[in-house]
Amino acid sequence: MPIIIISSETVQSAQQIAQAAAGELGYQCLGPEVLADIAAKYGIQADKLSEALGNDQSKFRRMRAKRRSQLLAYIEAEVLDRLMSDNIICWGVVSHLYVQGVSHAMKVRLLANSGQEAEKFAQQSGISVQRAAKSIQNAIRKQEQWALSAYGLNESESSMYDLVINLGQIEPDEAVRTIAGAVAYRKFKPMTYSIKSLAENALAAKVKTKLLDTLSDIRVQARDGKVVVTSKALKRERQKKAAVIKELAGQVEGVEFVEVHLINYVIREAAESFR
Amino acid sequence: MSQPLQILLLDDEPIVGKRLKPALAKIGCDVEVFQEPIPALERINQKAFDIIVTDIRMDEMDGMQILDHVLAKYPKTKVIMITGYAMIALAREAMEKGAFDFIAKPFIPDDLRRVIARAADALGSPIDFSITDDR
């Protein structure tokens, strides 16, 4: 059965709609609670994972690039692995940004009911509705900037999604019915190609977590058990780095062959030659 | 299974038919191989196949047209699409039109045999599918 990926301008609406749709369809829900399991698996604090997802922008900005990539890779690997199960709705773990080329993953984008959310936020925080609305808009903008810096994707671009629902115009119950109706389309049916694409996404993410423990600045693609790793290296380090990558990636279950592409570190090499 | 599954395999690359015909024969299927769509279509008009495996990108006629034609004439026939140009939009289009499955090339014969076994189940004619490693 298909996967439904729900992303939203605000966390509250994603949670509300995802849980209601899961109830309606009898699907399981995969949300941010998975971060606690990931944290336990890798021996880190769940808060750090949440920060890497951009939920605390100031801490995210202070985080080193390598650490950010590593934490995001942990999340991707676990989420992609769990998405291999059938009948699942995923929200709150930015899977709309890293589940790529999987035709049975229906991506839904929810546009917030700004007026209602501002009123609610104003009541909770004891501030004016106008200030609350501004604060919500700022948070949406910052999350978009985070998506751009972390994944190079503009998440406000509607072409990224299969379905965009404006909660300012569509009631939540109607949104849930719309999602349930759309996911029944034949085009979202799992097929050999899409199941394999998902498994390859998952394998690449696992290899990435393994490599990012010691290396940085890597890109991983998987196809039929073959893994292609692209990174940068100084000329004198090339052989050693390629051997390390092959050794580490080869340890991941499901990897049959590793191909390494190393691009010259032109700037570092130039800097070293002037010393 | 009382009667062997009747399969038509259409791909303009001769190697595909050459490799897949024996792989499918091993699980008891009768396979007719074609490299050009027009003769394949003529054969389809003469005979109702249980399963049709077709490439998508071909000269003269593409696999989507074959899919439309087959399902209009034989709604019960299972059509499996194979392509070296797999993309999400193409995969979704094929499924929307009623394809049974969509497989990206390159694939190993066991990948196709698994799909054939599922199609046979869906047709109510399960086949004895034992995996043999012939990558």
Q: Do B104 and A196 touch (CB under 8 A)?
A: yes
Chain B residues near any Cβ of chain A (below 8 Å): 86-88, 91-93, 95-96, 98-99, 101-104, 106-107, 111, 114-115
Q: Do A102 and B88 touch (CB under 8 A)?
A: yes
- Chain B residues in contact with A161 by the CB 8 A cut-off are none
**Domain membership flag for residue A196:** no
ipTM given for this complex? 0.89
**Domain membership flag for residue A207:** no
Picking from A186, A188, A192, the nearest residue to B115 by CB comes out as: A192
Structural domain count of chain A: 2
Question: Whole-number mean pLDDT of chain B?
Answer: 91
**How far is residue A89's CA from residue B88's CA, in Å, rounded to a whole number?**
20
Q: Do A193 and B93 touch (CB under 8 A)?
A: no
**Domain membership flag for residue A198:** no
A175 and A100 part of one domain: yes
Angle between helices B37-46 and B63-73 (to 10 degrees): 10
A180 and A219 part of one domain: no
Best residue in A191, A195, A198, A201 for a mutation probing chain B (most B CBs within 10 Å):
A191
Picking from A187, A192, A196, the nearest residue to B92 by CB comes out as: A187
**Domain membership flag for residue A23:** yes
Question: Whole-number mean pLDDT of chain A?
Answer: 92
Q: Do A192 and B95 touch (CB under 8 A)?
A: no
- 3-state class of A259 per DSSP? strand
Nearest CA in chain A to B111: A192
- Chain B residues in contact with A190 by the CB 8 A cut-off are none
A140 and A264 part of one domain: no
**How far is residue B135's CA from residue B131's CA, in Å, rounded to a whole number?**
11
Q: Do A186 and B103 touch (CB under 8 A)?
A: no
A264 lies in which domain range? 214-273
| CATH number, domain B5-122 | 3.40.50.2300
A170 and A220 part of one domain: no
Global pTM reads 0.89
- Per residue in A197-228, pLDDT (tens digit) is 999 999 999 999 999 988 888 999 998 889 99
Residue A28's Cα: distance from chain center in Å? Answer: 18
- Per residue in A135-173, pLDDT (tens digit) is 888 888 999 999 998 999 999 999 999 999 999 999 999
We report the CATH number of the domain holding residue A84 as 3.40.50.300
Q: Where are the domains of chain B?
A: 5-122
**Angle CA B36–B41–B45, to nearest 5:** 155
A226 and A182 part of one domain: no
- Per residue in A63-93, pLDDT (tens digit) is 888 888 999 999 999 999 999 987 899 999 9
| Nearest CA-CA distance, residue B92 and chain A, Å | 4
**Domain membership flag for residue A201:** no
Q: How many CB pairs under 8 A join A and B?
A: 42
Overall average pLDDT of the A47-61 stretch: 83
**How far is residue B66's CA from residue B87's CA, in Å, rounded to a whole number?**
19
**Domain membership flag for residue A197:** no
Q: Do B95 and A224 touch (CB under 8 A)?
A: no
Picking from B88, B96, B102, the nearest residue to A192 by CB comes out as: B102
A34 and A161 part of one domain: yes
**Domain membership flag for residue A194:** no
- Residue written as tokens 């509607």? A158
Nearest CA to A179 out of A165, A194, A189, A167 is that of A165
pLDDT at position A275: 63
Best residue in A193, A194, A200, A256 for a mutation probing chain B (most B CBs within 10 Å):
A193
**Angle CA B25–B31–B34, to nearest 5:** 135
pLDDT at position B135: 44
A181 and A234 part of one domain: no
- Per residue in B90-117, pLDDT (tens digit) is 999 999 999 999 999 988 888 999 999 9
A90 and A155 part of one domain: yes
Best residue in A187, A188, A192 for a mutation probing chain B (most B CBs within 10 Å):
A192
**How far is residue A191's CA from residue A189's CA, in Å, rounded to a whole number?**
6
The yes-or-no verdict on residue B130 having pLDDT over 70 is no
